Structure 1
Amino acid sequence: MLKILIAGAGPAGARLARHLASAGHAVVLADQISSPATNAFSSAALSQSEAEVLRIPRQCWSSVWSGWQVIDPRGLEYQWWATDSLGVVLDFAQFRALLWQEAERSGVELLKGCRVQLKRLRSEGADVWIHQRHGHRQERRVDLLVDATGSRRALLRQAGIPVDSSRDPLLTGHGVEWILQADPKSSARWRDRLSFLLGSRWIRHGYGWVFPMDGYRLKVGVCRLPPPSSKASDLSGLQRDLQRLLICFDLNRCPVLDRHGGVVSSTVRRLENLGGGSLIAIGDAASTANLLGGEGIRYAIKSADLLASLLQDQQGSAKSWQKLRRSYRHTLHSELGRRWGWSGRLAQRTWFGLKSERADLRMSRLIEGLSKRADAADLSSLFFDYRFERYGLRLLPYVF
């Protein structure tokens, strides 16, 4: 039995904790937030098949959708519809609450409102401080330490492990999202579909979205992935962009139920170290967030499932942790596939350059090309499975 501490109780951390506790390990799961509803920032849209493969309970499905809607830089609206449902939008707060409950039922020691600080990292274990509320702290010694702190990569940074390089820099996007309480009339334009607003007219270096939830609620958000040299990631600017969108689409009178925001960051080539000594990273801390669509949940979960499987036969020695990281890196690369790199490079070209009328014209041509050559299922394949090759010769030149 291994003693394992996981810092970060998001989808990756909580999923891994449940797996490992069920396998008989002593698992501590710590997170800075005290409630699963705190800053539940995730647009949380998945294909229905993926939601079923990942075994996400239907009680966490806030809505299902069967169409795509894109509003281009000129304000023209394009729609693609399927006869059957294509995907789901999760209630992320409910999903995180369920993950916590499942972890505790599996025997995980869940520490809420706690911050993990690395004291000493060894080749065969680690010593950490767990800082609790009111200034209390306790020391723990563990065999394996897992960084599941997302884009912060808190433990990797504390251990002095480089999270990027000049060959493969860490790219960072910022987003804000509000949950609105709409009504049957104001939500009619957005129900049963995923809606995206593309073009610098709406958001420079990024995009906006409107996703449906149950009870006529709407997730409305904006995200920006600017070039590293740009200062366009100002969060106050994103708030203004979001408010402007609400006014444009007559949603500004809807009561705001929640406001939250977050960061998505990843490398494109994924050359960074995934740990050192007895420390290993999963989820967004291991660059599993996709930069093209800001998608993180399903790949975070997959990284946790892969690591849990690889940990079955580990003994906790220095050599075993080195071997584990090598195997983990290899299987993660295999799982993500070559299309992952394509989508990352496409994200750079698309969002970095989306700042002018010329870029808007390219985007409009791309959307128009999709409207002529793709149906709703094709778009799901394109945006969820990154199957660019079937469109590349005809559509990608509009972006490149």
Structure 2
Amino acid sequence: MSEPQTCEVLIAGAGPAGLQLARRLAQAGVSVVVVDPLQDLRQAAFSSAALPLSAVTAFKLPAHVQAARWRGWQLHGPDDAQRHWMADHDLGAVLDFGALRQWLAEQAVAAGARLQLGWAVRGWHTASGGAIASLRGAGGQEQAVECRWLVDATGQRRALLGEPPAAAGALVAGAGVEWLIQVPQAQWQPWAQRLSFMLGSQWVPQGYGWVFPMQPGQLKIGVCRLHDARREQPPLHQLLRQLQHRLDLAAAPVLDRHGGLIRSTIRRREPHQRGPLLGLGDAVSTGNLLGGEGIRHAMASSDVLAPLLLEALGGKLEALRGYAPRLRRRLGWRWSLSGRLARRTWIGLHNSAADQRLQRLLEGLQQKSSAEELSALLFDYRFERYGLKALPYVLGWR
């Protein structure tokens, strides 16, 4: 192996978290290298990628990464009922995840970051003043990079940080499968401008299904569920095909198939730093289990870490002690509650009694909530707006 290359920050993973951090650091004049095993950032584009408009604005996401705008909600189930909430203005966007990653990469490179696709960090060790990482390319070639700080942005795999210690709490895991399908305009229209979810054990036991609009004539259809080792769970592809049939979408050609995992601790108390190694995004449990959300929270973790890492690069190493507490404050006090609700709601959704509890909750929401209020509940986790009456149904106490 030749002499190590050098940089100030090496980021393993070119997802939204890693690229957002690279962009911010490079804009501040830091030498940054980002490595990712993918040869093309538009590949493996698994993410349902629905965001509220506040996140689109906060991250200044351009129009070309937004496949569609949405302004309402459509919930099917747990029986055959359909419930609708519509606003008279846009509430959010569904992103083209591949286009988002490509745009973030272009922004980072334009600011001065170096992007190495087809490479992965296979190991690392501490060195004087930082770390030395061992990289391997797609063709088996090897390379060493010496850096002051190494960032694990490899998502739920936690390829560098490893699994969190038992004291941090168990990882709760979920799996999802999503297809991009082509439909006639007349069949696309009923799904346009709204986020549609299929809820109840007869749709997806211990999880949920969804249909999101993309550009005209294209829909995302998917299923996701939490893992329960105590029960035999049907294959996700089987559940997705059943969903297609029930929604009269079985004849639609499939343009792309992809899947992914989400794994997070409920309380987020795992270590965020180990010497010169820092965790970012899903590697430190920013994937929210209630709605399977990851993008905006992962990017938020980059915005929290960036100024602290700049201070550390300037010699103020103690600044990084504020990373974990600042990220907890950014995610908010409702975070752990949403995780507990997710575990109780989805794991418990496997029989008619659970369906009845969910149905009572949805009936209550339909009577007292607008589309904007439902968005605040599902994206901002503002459960308190509905008072204590709603919580027992979600928690399974009634």
TM-score w.r.t. the length of structure 2 is 0.95
Query: Deviation string for 1:61-115 (max 9, x for gaps)?
Result: 1111111000012111000010111111111111111111111111111010111
Q: Which runs of 5+ in 1 are unaligned?
A: none
Return closer, same or farther for 1:324/1:399 CA change in 2, 3 Å cut-off: same
Deviation, structure 1 residue 392 = 3.4
Deviation, structure 1 residue 165 = 1.6
Is the contact between residue 122 and residue 278 of structure 1 (CA under 8 Å) also seen in structure 2?
no
- Tell me which amino acid in the other structure corresponds to 1:386: Y
Moved more, 389-398 or 278-287: 389-398
Please name the residue that 1:244 is paired with: 242
Moved more, 87-96 or 112-121: 112-121
Please name the residue that 1:193 is paired with: 194
- Alignment match of 2:83 (pick from 78, 88, 111): 78
Is the contact between residue 308 and residue 320 of structure 2 (CA under 8 Å) also seen in structure 1?
no
Please name the residue that 2:278 is paired with: 280
Please name the residue that 1:350 is paired with: 345
Rounded Cα–Cα distance in structure 1 between residues aligned with 2:54 and 2:262: 24
- Tell me which amino acid in the other structure corresponds to 1:363: L
Secondary structure of the corresponding residue to residue 17 of structure 1? helix
Is the contact between residue 22 and residue 32 of structure 2 (CA under 8 Å) also seen in structure 1?
yes
Query: Deviation string for 1:256-279 (max 9, x for gaps)?
Result: 110000011111111111120100
Is the contact between residue 206 and residue 226 of structure 1 (CA under 8 Å) also seen in structure 2?
no
Rounded Cα–Cα distance in structure 1 between residues aligned with 2:230 and 2:135: 36
Deviation, structure 1 residue 226 = 2.8
Q: CA RMSD in A?
A: 1.6
Return closer, same or farther for 1:105/1:183 CA change in 2, 3 Å cut-off: same
Rounded Cα–Cα distance in structure 1 between residues aligned with 2:112 and 2:30: 9
Please name the residue that 1:47 is paired with: 52
- Tell me which amino acid in the other structure corresponds to 1:56: L
Secondary structure of the corresponding residue to residue 41 of structure 1? coil
Is the contact between residue 176 and residue 238 of structure 1 (CA under 8 Å) also seen in structure 2?
yes
Please name the residue that 2:3 is paired with: none
Rounded Cα–Cα distance in structure 2 between residues aligned with 1:83 and 1:194: 15
Rounded Cα–Cα distance in structure 2 between residues aligned with 1:223 and 1:121: 39
Please name the residue that 2:287 is paired with: 289
Deviation, structure 1 residue 37 = 1.5
Please name the residue that 1:218 is paired with: 219
- Alignment match of 2:360 (pick from 360, 365, 375): 365
Is the contact between residue 226 and residue 351 of structure 1 (CA under 8 Å) also seen in structure 2?
no
Secondary structure of the corresponding residue to residue 129 of structure 1? strand
Rounded Cα–Cα distance in structure 2 between residues aligned with 1:282 and 1:28: 15
Rounded Cα–Cα distance in structure 1 between residues aligned with 2:250 and 2:320: 48
Secondary structure of the corresponding residue to residue 385 of structure 2? coil
Is the contact between residue 289 and residue 338 of structure 2 (CA under 8 Å) also seen in structure 1?
yes
Rounded Cα–Cα distance in structure 1 between residues aligned with 2:350 and 2:306: 42
Rounded Cα–Cα distance in structure 2 between residues aligned with 1:297 and 1:213: 17
- Alignment match of 1:314 (pick from 312, 315, 337): 312
Between the two proteins, the alignment pairs up a number of residues equal to 390
Rounded Cα–Cα distance in structure 1 between residues aligned with 2:15 and 2:168: 29
- Tell me which amino acid in the other structure corresponds to 1:89: V
Identity %: 46
Secondary structure of the corresponding residue to residue 251 of structure 2? coil
Deviation, structure 1 residue 47 = 0.9
Return closer, same or farther for 1:306/1:228 CA change in 2, 3 Å cut-off: farther
Q: Which runs of 5+ in 2 are unaligned?
A: 1-5
1:8-47 equivalent positions in 2, closer than 5 A: 8-47=13-52
- Alignment match of 2:134 (pick from 115, 118, 129): 129
1:93-172 equivalent positions in 2, closer than 5 A: 93-122=98-127, 124-157=129-162, 162-165=163-166, 168-172=169-173
Rounded Cα–Cα distance in structure 1 between residues aligned with 2:63 and 2:189: 23
Deviating 4+ runs (over 4 angstroms): 228-231
Return closer, same or farther for 1:316/1:280 CA change in 2, 3 Å cut-off: farther
Is the contact between residue 67 and residue 376 of structure 1 (CA under 8 Å) also seen in structure 2?
yes
Is the contact between residue 7 and residue 145 of structure 2 (CA under 8 Å) also seen in structure 1?
no
Return closer, same or farther for 1:229/1:277 CA change in 2, 3 Å cut-off: farther
Please name the residue that 1:329 is paired with: 324
Deviation, structure 1 residue 121 = 2.8
Query: Deviation string for 1:26-60 (max 9, x for gaps)?
Result: 11100011111111001110111221111111111
- Tell me which amino acid in the other structure corresponds to 1:396: L
